[in-house]
Amino acid sequence: MKNPSGDTVMKQRTLPAAFLLALSIASLAGCASPTVITLNDGREIQAVDTPKYDEESGFYEFKQLDGKQTRINKDQVRTVKDL
């Protein structure tokens, strides 16, 4: 099907859709920031995102790469670094 200018209607719809898809993927890539938590004993734990610190309990809460929800006492944590 052609419009008055001779271009196909499909081409007109595909370009904006492709642009929106690329923009969405770029936005999602910036949301998560994988993190490495180094413990005082030298062990490293990788987290899906930056851990949240709960001041009331004194624990960092985060999700590991395998999906396991984890809590670690702040006294056991040496560093928290984004990858």
Q: What is the pLDDT of residues 37-62, one digit of tens each?
A: 999 999 999 999 999 999 999 999 99
The tally of domains found in the chain comes to: 2
Spatial neighbors of 42 by CB under 8 A, at least 6 apart, are none
Q: Do 78 and 46 fall within a single domain?
A: yes
50 lies in which domain range? 35-82
Q: Convert 15-51 to b/e letters by CB count within 10 Å (16 or more is b).
A: eeeeeeeeeeeeeeeeeeeebebeeeeeeebebeebb
Q: Do 47 and 16 fall within a single domain?
A: no
Q: What is the pLDDT of residues 10-42, one digit of tens each?
A: 555 665 665 555 555 545 455 678 999 999 999
Q: Do 57 and 69 fall within a single domain?
A: yes
Distance, in Å, from the CA atom of 43 to the CA atom of 57, rounded to the nearest integer, reads: 22
Q: Do 41 and 25 fall within a single domain?
A: no
Q: Do 73 and 52 fall within a single domain?
A: yes
